[in-house]
Amino acid sequence: MSDTYSRRLALLSQPEALAQLKHCLHGIERESLRVERNGRLALTPHPKALGSALTHSSITTDYSEALLEFITDALPDSAQTLAQLEEIHRFTISQLEQEVLWSPSMPGHLPKEELIPIGQYGSSNVGQLKHVYRKGLAVRYGKTMQCIAGIHYNFSLPDSIWTLLRAAEGDTRSEKEYQSARYIGLIRNFRRYSWLLMYLFGASPALDISFLRGRNHQLESFDEDTLYLPYATSLRMSDLGYQSNAQAGLTPCYNDLSSYTDSLRRAVSTPYPDYEKIGSKKDGEWLQINTNILQIENEYYSTMRPKRITQDGERPVDALIARGIQYVEARCIDINPFLPLGIDLPQARFLDTFLLFCALQDSPLLGDTECPAATDNFLAVVKQGRKPNLQLQRGGELVSMKAWGEELLTQMQACAKLLDDSYATTEHVEALNRQVEKLNNPDLTPSAQVLASMREQQCSFSQFALKQSLQHAQTLSTPPLDAELIAHYQALAEQSHQAQQAIEQQDNCSFDEYMADYLASAE
């Protein structure tokens, strides 16, 4: 254990700091496809009963009309976050008539590309902008890739903890600069160690054959409808999932906030030849926002993002530059198809421990060799994480994944204990101990359990996923959501429709004029 890590742990174990740690914030965004009860993708519009996808704060859509996204508030206890996520799920299930929520991250059998419906957000200029952005994603990456679902886990330490650490370390930077630098340090450590999350929680070792649309691949056949890799943990996070040639040179190593924001700003303003050939418009119809490497910053696919809540009309990168990093968003978490919410409290408790460890542990800059090694380690684990004696790269040498994982979990015990002391519980240490068991027995990992269930039931990936989806729909319906809560979410839905109408009535220029102003603001 390094001196710096030990000092920070000692400081945060003092009563005053322990009281502050309880004010860490945790938020979850969970995506899930709407499917018919036979497992086919729902081609219906976003249900009116769920509210407006443009303005509802808790229930929206991601890429497709069929890809729901549930968003919790940022709350001081992960248990509260999950309780709210469950309410949103229960309400949604109560409003879906002949449809259910798809249980895993990877989609089932998909219709032809052109039939996959892109998200619609109404007639307002801002709503049309969201739709055009998604049209751009379709022409750049195809609609199939956009049907992958995941869980984004948002985490922040209270400002008071950063103030305490800054004072103890005698750091002369401003509070904003110190906090941003420390969050960037957290992200560097996340890059180093997130392969461990893929092993422990990866839950997408197989996929429906329709997903590849005849593309070349190195997967094996599980049955005539299913492809897989025997030791894979998360094909979702492999090069079969989110891939982009345009973004290949866009891997910021997170050595400071300004290099990160500069790289995103360049990407949003640098033309990309293949996208230029497509053009922004054809026959007066918008095809994509622009022909640059990224249409907007959010198009950048990364396992973690530094975040700051934006003001109206403000771009994410401008918010970061102006006010610094407020929280981080871990984006590589697979949906666990065995869990009704896709995630449970023990997993959330471990994620909190893991992220606190990344924040407190030493985080030297990522060197020229360590940056690609981190990427290689991550890809090795997503494709063959359960392979016996898998070796990863560390400091220019090969190391056993299991040995390195055990070392990391041992180092994290102090963070788990710290959080348990703060929240007056034992759940963080217990959650960590469950992960130790998975390292010792790969059969306990979700990815192994998915394949074991498919073999046991002698069913395809899509059949397995549908069975889980129907089971979760039943679980989330019984008992029904409390009448008061149903009324609360119905009121939110109605308010969101009214808010969308108000936005549509306020527009005072054409969409082309709006786009001209929008594009000028990015220069």
- CA 139 to chain centroid, in Å, comes to 22
Contact predicate 230/222, CB 8 Å: no
What six digits make up the tokens of 368? 């020229």
pLDDT at 241: 63
pLDDT at 253: 66
Contact predicate 146/299, CB 8 Å: no
| 61: nearest Cα among 97, 96, 34, 41 | 34
**Vertex 126 angle, CA 125 and 132, to 5°:** 85
Max CA pair span of the chain: 66
* Helix extents (H) in 194-302: 195-201, 257-269, 273-278
**Vertex 470 angle, CA 467 and 474, to 5°:** 135
Distances (CA, A) of 21 to 311, 350, 418, 423: 27, 15, 9, 8
DSSP state of 312: T
DSSP state of 37: T
**Vertex 295 angle, CA 293 and 301, to 5°:** 70
Helix axes 345-360, 427-440, angle to 10 degrees: 90
Sign of the Cα torsion 268, 274, 279, 283 reads: negative
Distance, CA of 34 to CA of 40 (rounded, Å)? 9
In whole angstroms, how large is the CA radius of gyration of the chain?
Answer: 23
Distance, CA of 454 to CA of 465 (rounded, Å)? 9
Q: What is the helix (H) or strand (E) element at residue 124, kind and residue range?
A: none
Lookup result for tokens 């995941």: 150
Distance, CA of 90 to CA of 101 (rounded, Å)? 11
Q: Which residues are 333's β-sheet partners?
A: 151
Lookup result for tokens 């918008």: 286
CATH code: domain 3-521 is 3.30.590.20
Distances (CA, A) of 467 to 70, 96, 409, 457, 515: 22, 17, 34, 10, 45
Distance between first and last Cα of the chain: 46
What six digits make up the tokens of 350? 């471990």
Please list the pLDDT of the chain residue by residue as tens digits (523 residues).
789 999 999 999 999 999 999 999 999 999 999 999 999 999 999 999 999 999 999 999 999 999 999 999 999 999 999 999 999 999 999 999 899 999 999 999 999 999 999 999 999 999 999 999 999 999 999 999 889 999 999 999 999 999 999 999 999 999 999 999 999 999 999 999 999 999 999 999 999 999 998 888 999 999 999 999 999 999 999 987 655 667 766 766 688 899 899 989 888 999 999 999 999 999 999 999 999 999 999 998 889 999 999 998 888 999 999 999 999 999 999 999 999 999 999 999 999 999 999 999 999 999 889 989 999 999 999 999 999 999 999 999 999 999 999 999 999 999 999 999 999 999 999 999 999 999 999 999 999 999 999 999 999 999 999 999 999 999 999 999 999 999 999 999 999 999 999 999 999 999 999 999 999 887 6
pLDDT at 204: 98
Percent of the chain that is helix, strand, coil (3-state, to 5): 50, 15, 35
Single-letter code of the amino acid located at 449 = Q
Domain boundaries, the chain: 3-521
Distance, CA of 285 to CA of 283 (rounded, Å)? 6
Could you write out the three-class secondary structure of 329-396? EEEEECCCCCCCCCCCHHHHHHHHHHHHHHHHCCCCCCCCCHHHHHHHHHHHHHHHCCCCCCEEEECC
Distances (CA, A) of 342 to 28, 151, 209, 284, 513: 11, 8, 23, 42, 42
